[in-house]
Structure 1
């Protein structure tokens, strides 16, 4: 059975997301492509968003969806993306805010303000702007799901790319904070935190990963995890995806409360 036939069968077999409309940013390749495929197989109609028009249209054609060019670091572009999805399919139920890039610089002599702003714009602003833009559409449908792509770099220190770690930690903090804040509106906000997964981001690291014997996580594993998050009932969770382990929500330690005043 071809990939297209599999998608069509998923759309007609009473799949979990039948009738739902989803947006996937960074959907032209890697994790975003796999997410778009997984959503379509589960029955959703998918709007693929990316700056890579050729790749994005190819994925949209594959899933029987629609493509919209979008720079997620621009607030108005995010609003236009949501408007486009509503015009195409009548609403939005799911937003996978996945677009992201590596930083490519540090904070020392190699600091590059343009690279820094590009990474923060895609990795953090894209999540904030995307959430702001899609919330009215989700609320109008009685709720929905937002999943932001963070990283294991959002859960641990990463000396190799501290600025990337910074914006991914910010996405984790946003998910943990917005989860309970948006739950009363029946909008579930969660994050997925993959390790080294198959995507363009790891291209500069492939030789190093091979030399160190570090496995690359298939994009489909990350996409399947996102599908579990979307179809679940959690909010404010940050699911780790690590090679050789079953994905699950990361268990954060509780912050210590205030201590007792010192005795006089």
Structure 2
């Protein structure tokens, strides 16, 4: 992979417009930000896209631009995830891939600022949405002979985030799911990976924009993340967590193995 080239974000490699011809893709959180960019990118590559979001106006706009469908979905609800998959099968004939992207900022910590409702909302979208979405998708993917799931995690799932430990917790959980489900689902011809952007253009960074500007931290264009998702779904890897950082070519993060057990003699 290419090393650091400059302070600018390195665009990911694009594929031709027929790479996903005949494929059906679901994108949750598709009304804006990373979901919007990815929905349009997958459509450009030939996929028929179903955009899912609670923002009906934004979701329908993206679906129209992508030439696909919109379906309202609260990803924190298991029944809503099943309904989304059923809608896609009914209107598109099946499902081949999905970006489980819906997510929200945490908005609280674990000390005096802890708020149970905000905690439940964040875990519901950021973690339950991936678990419930995967659970709903697997029968549909198996029916097609296999497929691909990509979950939006974050660089916060690969590193400590003292300023927002709960967000780090749910994103670490998504990373753990990707690493574990990758090999677990391989016998079913289903690949599961995660994309882990740093500060990328989306609503979730709105409260941080002044701080990012003061610290001169570049914001990753949503298109760079979308192009990375395209590389993942058209590749052959599984159980991978792709980091996306300014100035670097996106690639799978290389995890260290944990130390193995030792016998009393030190062997």
- Where on the TM-score scale, by shorter chain, does this alignment land: which range? over 0.9
Aligned to 1:227: 230
Aligned to 1:5: none
Q: 1:204 aligns with which of 207, 222, 247?
A: 207
3-state SS of 1:166 partner? helix
List structure 1 segments (4+ residues) > 3 angstroms apart after TM superposition: none
| More helix as a share of residues | 1
3-state SS of 1:214 partner? coil
Aligned to 1:245: 248
Query: Is the contact made by 2:17 and 2:44 (CA closer than 8 Å) also made in structure 1?
Result: no
Q: Which runs of 5+ in 1 are unaligned?
A: 1-9
C-alpha distance in 1 between matches for 2:264 and 2:179: 30
Residue 150 (str. 1) matches residue 153 (str. 2): yes
Query: Is the contact made by 2:21 and 2:47 (CA closer than 8 Å) also made in structure 1?
Result: yes
C-alpha distance in 1 between matches for 2:91 and 2:251: 34
Aligned to 2:184: 181
C-alpha distance in 1 between matches for 2:144 and 2:17: 20
Q: 1:114 aligns with which of 84, 102, 117?
A: 117
Residue 164 (str. 1) matches residue 174 (str. 2): no
Residue 83 (str. 1) matches residue 86 (str. 2): yes
Deviation readout 1:152-198 (Å, 9 max, x if unpaired): 00000001110000000000000000000001111000000000000
Residue 141 (str. 1) matches residue 141 (str. 2): no
C-alpha distance in 2 between matches for 1:138 and 1:147: 13
Q: 2:130 aligns with which of 106, 127, 130?
A: 127
Q: Which runs of 5+ in 2 are unaligned?
A: 1-13
Residue 61 (str. 1) matches residue 69 (str. 2): no
TM-score by length of 1: 0.94
3-state SS of 2:247 partner? coil
**Matched residue count:** 252
Aligned-residue offset at 1:262: 5.0
Q: 1:15 aligns with which of 15, 18, 23?
A: 18
TM-score by length of 2: 0.93
